[in-house]
Amino acid sequence: MAEVADRVTRVAADLIESAAAEGARQSRSAKQQLDHWARVGRAVSSHHTAARRRVEAVLAGEADPSSLNPEEGVVFNAEISAAVEEHLARADYGTMLAASGVTTVALDDDGRIVQYRPDGTSVVLDDTSS
């Protein structure tokens, strides 16, 4: 099998932190731990047993979660947790709230508190960076 070179990839900060902590316990670097988790996840996801089909049916809304045994429930919960985290990472809440007419406040890149209005305007509320 030909060796595939590593590629530069962005990884969520919380995963890097968890991988560093777990990797230290397992005598692995954070990268090695992430690689390990990815390989285990790939194997579990691609293993189409009856248990995996039951979990997929529940995820698709075709079966009730109470039909899963405890081990299947762990996989189901992990799938849901990963999906929620992925959705949260992609969501642009400022845009969604502005579309609903909601004014928001957030820190800008300079650490200032900025009010963002639904009409697209913004105003710095706390300019302590000066």
b (16+ CB within 10 A) / e for 41-57: eeeeeeeeeeeeebbbe
Q: What is the spatial distance between Cα 45 and Cα 78, in angstroms, rounded to a whole number?
A: 12
Residue 73 maps to a domain: yes
pLDDT tens per residue across span 78-100: 999 988 988 887 888 888 888 99
pLDDT in tens, 43-64: 877 777 888 889 999 999 999 9
105 in a structural domain: yes
User: Is the pLDDT reported for residue 119 higher than 90?
Assistant: yes
pTM over 0.75: no
129 pLDDT more than 60: no
- 118 and 60, same domain (yes or no): no
Q: Are both 65 and 110 inside the same structural domain? A: no
